[in-house]
Amino acid sequence: MTMPAMVGGVAAGAVLGTVYIRLLRANVGLYVRGGGWVRALALHAARLALVAVVLWQAARWGAPVLLGALVGFLAARGVGVRRRSAGP
């Protein structure tokens, strides 16, 4: 039971990390292009709330799921940041 739960957590965390990076890119675009600080701040808050809610739900399912979700999130976030810093 522990290994499938952890694998499911990794998959959910990877999806969360990918969505997080895409929303971060949109958020930076709003800040840079001057899309309105209220919209940028709202998107920023929504992005952080999404991460908090997903990780909180993973914690409710147990430590293996939370650990897997965190590993998947950090891995996807790391890949996304590295990909974007390498060039356009």
Q: Which of 10-19, 35-44, 67-76 has the lowest mean pLDDT?
A: 35-44
Rounded to whole angstroms, the Cα distance separating 58 from 79 reads 22
Number of domains the chain is built from: 1
- The answer as to whether 37 is a domain residue is no
pLDDT surpassing 90 at residue 71: yes
- The answer as to whether 39 is a domain residue is no
- The answer as to whether 19 is a domain residue is no
- The answer as to whether 31 is a domain residue is no
Q: Which domain holds residue 63?
A: 49-82
Whole-prediction pTM: 0.83
- The answer as to whether 72 is a domain residue is yes
- The answer as to whether 44 is a domain residue is no
- The answer as to whether 35 is a domain residue is no
